[in-house]
Amino acid sequence: MQRYFVLKDQIKNNEQIVISGDDYHHIVRVMRMNEGDEVICSNGNGLAALCEIEQITNESVIVRVIESKEERTELPVHIYIAHGLPKGDKFELVIQKGTELGAFSFIPFLAARSVVKWEAKKAEKKLERWQKIAKEAAEQAHRSCVPYVHAPMTLRELVKFAQTFDYRLVAYEEEARNGEGAVLRTVLRQMKPGQSLVVLFGPEGGFSEQEIDLLRDHGFLSCGLGPRILRTETAPLYLLAAASYEWELK
């Protein structure tokens, strides 16, 4: 069943929901739904409602709430994926698949070896696209919230921002080469429900030694992700799958 995230001002007296914009287009033009069809609407805070389409106008779809329910489809811990900006559409892939795997938020950052240069004049449209990808992936995966995609930060800005998290890791390929395999497992097992973890992943060229030194000086633990060297877009998905296995497959 199709799922759509709605804002507070779309909900009328907890009985009706007015859907417009891109979601209206998806319901009417893509899914070709009719009055009487059912959808799920979520408020993004863990509450969802089974709804029936009452009316379709030229600009909106009006649905009636049939039954409300609380959902538990989120990882019990909050995992922030911080990614050095990679080439092409790789970061979009990380957002899409990372959302499906339960990431809480995404933080792109400008790394020393990032080939991509952040263009301020294109920033607003790029952020809108990233957030739209997260929303659509959350709907597809039946998430109860949409991960927030931050504007790109410098590494120093990210280090400062990360001081508020309970745990801080950096995925470093030299640790994988040296056979390190305990740090990630230990952290995931130490975490308690509701706690936060931020994990940094480098761009295609990885981290410089100076960046690793900076991160370690500010409390980041470096970890390996198994014996194989993963692509920049694969590594975050490996970590999220490991977290799901540790927290959800019991």
Q: How far apart are CA 224 and CA 235, in angstroms?
A: 10
Q: Which two tokens stand for residue 218?
A: 């500010």
How many domains does the chain contain in total?
A: 2
- Spatial separation of the C-alpha atoms in residues 90 and 86, rounded to whole Å: 6
Q: What confidence category does residue 176 fall into, taking pLDDT thresholds of 50, 70 and 90? A: low
| pLDDT at residue number 123 | 86
Asked whether 99 and 143 are in contact (CB, 8 A), the reply is yes
pTM of the model: 0.89
- Give the other-Cβ count within 10 Å of 103's Cβ: 26
Q: Taking 80 as the threshold, does the pLDDT of residue 250 lie above it? A: no
Q: Same structural domain for residues 176 and 118?
A: yes
Phi-psi region of 206 (alpha: psi -120 to 50; beta: other; left: phi over 0): left
Residues of the domain holding 111: 78-248
Q: What is the pLDDT of residues 72-107, one digit of tens each?
A: 889 999 999 999 999 999 999 999 999 999 999 999
Same domain, 125 and 242: yes
Tell me, what DSSP letter sits at residue 69? E
**Residue-wise pLDDT tens digits, 27-36:** 999 999 999 9
d(CA 30, CA 23): 10
* Cβ proximity of 165 and 197 under 8 Å: yes
CATH of the domain at 117: 3.40.1280.10
